[in-house]
Amino acid sequence: MPRAPFAWSGDLTEEEIRRILREGDPEERARLIGRIVSEAPFEEIWRYVTPAEIAANWPVVRRYIWPPDLREIWEWGLRVWGYEVASDAPSGEGA
């Protein structure tokens, strides 16, 4: 089975991605969600995860989003969509 289109930095197939999201341990799932939101085109992200799943796993997912500016954009977006997520911005910065 071919690798997922966004998984340019690895060899994950669609089947492996879905298995990890379903059955992976929390750290493995969070790492993959971070990779999806960092590497997949925006429209493709929603084939794998929902905003609620990203927000629910945010304390761990955020460590795997690169670059840091993208993490800040996701934090802002999740807040706009009504999710409460912790920011790693110093006091007085960020939304």
**pLDDT reported for residue 95:** 42
Is 33 in contact with 53 (CB distance < 8 Å)?
A: yes
In tens digits, the chain (95 residues) has pLDDT values of 677 777 666 678 889 999 999 999 999 999 999 999 999 999 999 999 999 999 999 999 999 999 999 999 999 999 999 999 987 655 444 44
**CA torsion 61→65→70→73, rounded to 10°?**
0
Report the pLDDT value the prediction gives residue 9, as an integer from 0 to 100.
62
- What does residue 68 show for φ and ψ, rounded to 5 degrees? -55, -35
pLDDT given at position 92: 46
Upper half-sphere CA count for residue 16 (Cβ side, 13 Å)? 12
Give pLDDT, residue 88. 67
Q: Where are the alpha helices (DSSP H) in the chain?
A: 14-23, 26-39, 42-45, 51-56, 58-61, 68-80
